[in-house]
Structure 1
Amino acid sequence: MRKYSLVADLLREQGETFVVPAHASERWLHLAHDPAYVTGVLTSSLDAKTARRVGFEMTPAIAARTRASVGGTCLATRLALEYGAAVNLAGGSHHADYEGGAGFCVFNDVAVAARVALNEGLVRQVAVVDCDVHHGDGTARIFAGESRVFTTSLHCDDNWPREKPPSDLDVGLSKGAGDMPYLGALRAMLDEMFERTTPDLIFYNAGVDPHADDRLGLLTLSDDGLKARDRMVVEACRARSIPVVGVLGGGYSKDPMAVARRHTFMVEALQRSMELA
């Protein structure tokens, strides 16, 4: 958890501008989640089985944090549409599906933000580029059959979750894959995605857990590999003039400062893209 404050500290030192979001409303949360589950989270009354699936007990503090996280992605969506790019320094909770949370993800912030933007007519088509090392199962489930949202997932196929419901485009890598196979797979995934959809907005889950030092990732990317990944995604979007909403996703190395620095790579790639636009 320390990584979140450390990322903010590093970016303040670089002169980045911050905006504080409002907490996501219940009405917004209902766009992607069962209202009964939302009530259980917000009132700290989830049953034990559901709480175990999430990974921790629901408390008022957890409810406030996750509503702020969802609000951050919703705000970043509006800012990205205005300025070309914006980042939520949290988010990427892609294991939460309509029925409830899972894998330490309470609400699916990207799913909520996408539905808000679509319902308000801010966009007609969105895409999710999920490069967290774990499959984006919750996002895939929420948007199954939703023609306005194109979901992708580039992940370690040998990793959790064991059940991987189909995204619109899935690319699974074998355990131990490093920079070259990863970047080749990403390039092919992006090319196919843009052949199949023309989004008005892209949500980019830039989890740094594919890194070789990550305790849960099982892949072997280097810092340079992660930087190249973020540049590749951002440049592909910039070449098509598509705004990008970045979310942090996972990162579980023992050194929280190292994780925080890796999360800044995505912010730096987006900043450079905006400077070149």
Structure 2
Amino acid sequence: MSAVQNRKEDKQPHRTNLYFDIPSTPWPIVYSPDYNITFLGLEKLHPFDSGKWGKIVNFLKEEMMINDETIVRAREAQEDDLLVVHSKRYLNKLKWSFIVATITEIMPVAFLPNFIIQRKVLRPFRTQTGGTIMAGKLAIDRGWAINLGGGFHHCSSDQGGGFCAYADITLAIKFLFERVEGVSKAMIIDLDAHQGNGHERDFMDDNRVYILDAFNRYIYPGDGYAKRAIKWKIELEWDTEDSEYLAKVEALVAKALHEVTPDIIVYNAGTDILDGDQLGGLAVSPQGIIKRDEAIFKAARINKIPILMVTSGGYQRSTARIIADSILNLHHLHLIDQRLI
């Protein structure tokens, strides 16, 4: 059995500040300024835009969709929250700066005192992780939720990598299984350009979680063992464009939802499928990404399944604008709104 399943399901849930009643007036959109990573310019040594989450919020504010009072402020996941999935051994490894440098792929981090790394690098990751967990409950309560961060799909219970230090997708699902009555089956739709090997390893032997993953077959992580957990798989070729990409994704999602009706969909909406992304290797246009997100939310709405979206990877400066445009499109099509669904 996986490390995640080894936990006793009948164990009394721990005390947490991540599950609480949220008024119905804010949008079920979760964010905190603490998501953004800035420290001595080190963030510029990785192609990921570590301030993209704040840029998304600013774009949505400019379009008058949200303001600071109408979104949900994310809270940082504490150690007891993380231990729902992660081992104490793994969390202790993050106290070594070299380990964090390896996970974030920013090697100068190895030479910094760990207390700085905890505050400037890992705390933003923990806050985004808390945001995903919070958004899981919001999705059940409101029918949908978007965490403007999160999507750390390369991290499993005992190993980080690929700029992913905490397994927020696994945590959000485990919190729902343990704390929300009536939630016993989840579907992960992972449409980041990279294989989501972290949650795949975590749910390898857990038949309550059905994983659909579409990814570039030639790039990181190439985790053959983790692929065994994928129920529905699309291995894409270099430079796959809109028409082929959308046709394959929409067909597979329809097939998956015909076979299984989950209690929640966790949608990992990476934008590294964008044409020109140096790490994704695909060639989907901005409008293709917007159409992709639209298709997933339409499928959730038609099938009356709550959906949680996280933003995951994307390695071009234009991705924040595209994510904001996609959210605005969902709103204009009435696929998301403030009202209870």
- Report the CA distance shift for 1:246/1:270 in structure 2 as closer, same or farther (over 3 A): farther
Which residue identity lines up with residue 256 of structure 2 in the other structure?
Answer: M
Alignment partner, residue 22 of structure 2? none
From 119, 133, 136, the equivalent of 2:178 is 119
Q: Kindly report which structure 2 residues correspond to 1:161-172, keeping only aligned pairs within 5 A, or say none.
A: 161-164=221-224, 165-166=226-227, 167-172=230-235
1:2 aligns with 2:51: yes
C-alpha spacing 1:49/1:63, structure 2 compared with 1 (3 Å): closer
* Deviations 1:154-176 (CA, angstroms, capped at 9, x unpaired): 11112211224212222111111
Q: Aligned-pair distance for 1:53?
A: 4.1
Structure 1 range deviating more: 99-108 or 119-128? 119-128
- Deviations along 1:157-201, whole A, 9 cap, x unmatched? 122112242122221111111001101110122022113321111
Determine whether 1:27 maps to 2:80.
yes
Aligned to 1:156: 216
Q: Does the 8 Å contact 2:274/2:289 carry over to 1?
A: yes
Q: 1:73 to 1:124 in 2, by over 3 A?
A: same
Q: Please give the secondary structure, in 2, of the residue aligned with 1:172.
A: strand
Matched, 1:12 2:65: no
Contact 1:205–1:247 (8 Å) recurs in 2: yes
Query: Deviation of residue 47 (structure 1)?
Result: 6.8
For 1:127 and 1:97, how far apart are their aligned partners in 2? 17
Matched length: 271
- Matched residue, 2:308: 245
- Does the 8 Å contact 1:246/1:266 carry over to 2? no
What secondary structure is seen at the aligned counterpart in 2 of 1:264? Answer: helix
Which residue of the partner structure matches residue 88 of structure 1?
147
TM-score normalized by structure 2?
0.75
Residue 272 of structure 2 is matched in structure 1 by 209
Question: Larger Cα Rg: Structure 1 or Structure 2?
Answer: 2
SS at 1:273's partner residue?
Answer: coil
Segment drifting more, 186-195 vs 97-106: 186-195
| Residue in 2 that maps onto 1:55 | 105
Distance 2:192 2:245 in 1: 12
- Residues 87, 267 of structure 1: 8 Å contact kept: no
**Mapping of residues 64-75 of structure 1, within 5 Å:** 64-75=123-134
* d(CA) in 1 for partners of 2:56, 2:175: 27
The runs of 5 or more residues in structure 1 that have no matched partner are none
Identity of aligned residues (%): 28
Aligned mates of 1:115, 1:168 — CA distance in 2: 19
Paired amino acid for 2:142? Y
State the one-letter code of the partner of 1:31.
V
> CA shift at 1:84, angstroms?
1.3
After the TM superposition, which of the residue ranges 67-76 and 49-58 deviates more from structure 2?
49-58
Distance 2:104 2:258 in 1: 36
Instruction: Indicate the RMSD between aligned Cα atoms, in angstroms.
Output: 1.9
Q: Measure how far apart 1:150 and its partner are.
A: 1.1
Q: Does the Cα contact within 8 Å between 2:186 and 2:263 map onto a contact in 1?
A: yes
Structure 1 residue identity aligned to 2:244: P
Which residue of 1 is the match for residue 336 of structure 2? 274
Partner SS for 1:274: coil
**Does the C-alpha gap of structure 1 residues 201 and 269 become closer, same or farther in structure 2, counting only changes over 3 Å?**
farther
AA matched with 2:78: S
Report the more deviating stretch, 195-204 or 69-78.
195-204
CA distance in 2, matches of 1:26, 1:213: 38
- SS for the counterpart of 2:213 is strand
CA contact (8 A) 1:4 1:90 kept: yes
Distance (whole Å) between structure 1 residues aligned to residue 171 and residue 330 of structure 2: 22
Deviation at 1:214, TM superposition (A): 1.4
**Alignment pair present for 1:36 and 2:89:** yes
